[in-house]
A and B are shown apart, each in its own frame.
Chain A
Amino acid sequence: MIDQLLGFVTYYWPEMITIVLMMTLLVAEATVKDEHAPRTKIHVYTQFMLGLVLVNLFLNLGEKPLHIFHNAVTIDPFSTLIKIIMTAGTMGAIFLSHSSRDIYTNLKSEFSVMAVGVLIGGMLLASANNMLTLYLGIETLSILSYVLSSFKRDEATSTEAGMKYALYGGLSAGVALFGMSHLYGVFGSIQFVEMIDKIPGLAGLNLAIVIVSFLMFFVGIGYKISAFPFHMWTPDVYQGSPIPVTAFFAIVPKMAGVAALVRVSFVFFQEGSALTVTWTGLILVIAAMTMTVGNVTAIGQSSVKRLLAFSSIGHVGMMILGVVVMNEAGVQAILFYGIAYLFMTLIAFYITSCLSDMYGTDSYDVFRGLVYKHPLMAIIMAGVLFSLAGMPPFSGFVAKFNIFSVIIEKKHYGIALVAAINSVIALYYYVKLAKTMIFSEADGEERVLSFTTANQIVIVALFIPVLFLGIFWDSAMALAGNAQLFIK
């Protein structure tokens, strides 16, 4: 028994290293004597340990999928890939936080502590295989996120963002939990593997309770990925939070939520049953509404952070279309979308952060005539915007193409049309921002100085995958398409 549990630990290295990292960071932060010390050593240590986590995750990628710790946790290529995306996103956000002026100097290593904590929650959520680990994952993710969003604690906007996040988050987690409690009553277990055996035998009142409970359950996940009726908090929280935190939110909690949605959908709903039709129908409608609301509302925005928030809502709508088809191709499309989205989002927030550090605001005006002030920055930002809009040859195009191909293969022509219209709307507001950068006259003669060489190297390095994945996407798909992604 003990031998078996210890044997499972070998699959759990990434999580364990992350937990050790968080604990040591807390101690290291407490030893810093000077409040205004730059904390470079702690930053390097964090990046090194996260690199170690990445290495361990890549080593796990080749393993056969299995359930560990009495079916509480699943280690499979899907969850490992999601964890890789999240770890890379955390590294990017921590690097950004170290150079950004939006995070107070004395809070820089606290940012790392919180971000690593959110990463632990995300990892738990991505491989959750019973309701308890799923709930703990969601809450670990959420509670630390509330702290992160109110990180600029002297400013009313940031505190307000944290408060709104905490209230909406508490409500949705509570509703999801209420749904889970009834699922437990009907199925008699919190283990996914034991619950799925009982689904075919459901009838009458039990079936009705299960449908309502799953709807409540969806509230919790839908809130994390900011799907349509539960997206109201997203723009406010994204605008109020410091920029590194916003970049972090756009990647880590979102990917963890998408992973949980994929896992729940694929574990519980086999193709053909009435329950499955209800669930996929629900996701179909929600995906369509999410995309439309995100993209249409993005048009009128004047704050770039808010624009990126709405665009991220639109992207999530696109991503969860991969769940509707209920096959492995859909999951591969979601994974590819996640990888492509990671790089695009990081670059967009890096550049916004840099400009907002310089001008103290993130409105459209700071982008006016950027091409005259800093050509490299403007070109890369334009590339990223086109990629986000889904233009070839960038990776955003391939990501969208994959989603379209899986849904058209299943003959969902209506939703494909909605997605296509949404792409056109998205193109409009991305190109509008690109036009502001290139064709508007600059307000002043000043150059952008805060963009250091290190930042330039990072941005160019991040831009390579945006180009490269779009052109050579076969190899990336092979990475995402390991033999068996899932086990039930």
Chain B
Amino acid sequence: MMGLTSYLVISLFLFITGLVVMISRKNIVAILLGIELILNAAALNFVAYSRYVTGNLDGHIFSLFIIVVAAAEAAVGLAIIIRFFQIKETIHIDEATQLRN
């Protein structure tokens, strides 16, 4: 039997994984993947709360919007990364050092 707690634990796990990926990985595409994990953690939370606690549809609607926005954000992020790759010929985050004090 899956209860609310199991969903919350899974989403917390996804959230922390996303944060760790963003901090530890040096590949920019991997960092974008980390962002997706965080967004999906939030979406899972919304649906779980909607099912077990609140009983209204707000959470479902919200998670649909999250999916749409995440797609838009990934599209723009990837476009910028492609541009970065064309100029620098790498997608390593440590190469992004032109803007400094």
Contacts and interface: CB of A to CB of B under 8 A. Distances in A.
Interface of A: 131-132, 135-136, 139, 142-143, 146-147, 150, 153-157, 159-164, 166-167, 170-171, 173-175, 177-178, 180-182, 184-185, 188-190, 235-236, 239-240, 297, 300-301, 306
Interface in B27-60: 28, 31-32, 34-35, 38-39, 41-43, 45-46, 49, 53-54, 56, 58-59
Nearest to B4: A185
A163 B58 contact: no
Contacts of B1: none
A188 B88 CA distance: 48
Main secondary structure of the interface of B (DSSP, over half): helix
Contacts of B96: 160, 163-164
Contact of B62 (A157, A167, A184): A184
Contact of A174 (B35, B54, B61): B35
7 contacts: A131-B62, A136-B69, A156-B84, A174-B39, A184-B58, A240-B98, A240-B99
Contact of A185 (B22, B35, B53, B65): B53
The 9 closest A-B pairs by CB, nearest first: A174-B38, A181-B45, A185-B49, A170-B35, A177-B42, A236-B99, A188-B54, A181-B42, A178-B42
B84 A147 contact: no
Interface in B1-45: 11, 15, 18, 22, 28, 31-32, 34-35, 38-39, 41-43, 45
A483 B28 CA distance: 51
Contacts of A162: 80, 83
Contacts of A167: 22, 28, 31-32, 35, 77
Given A181-B46, A189-B54, A157 B77 contact: no
Contacts of A171: 22, 34-35, 38
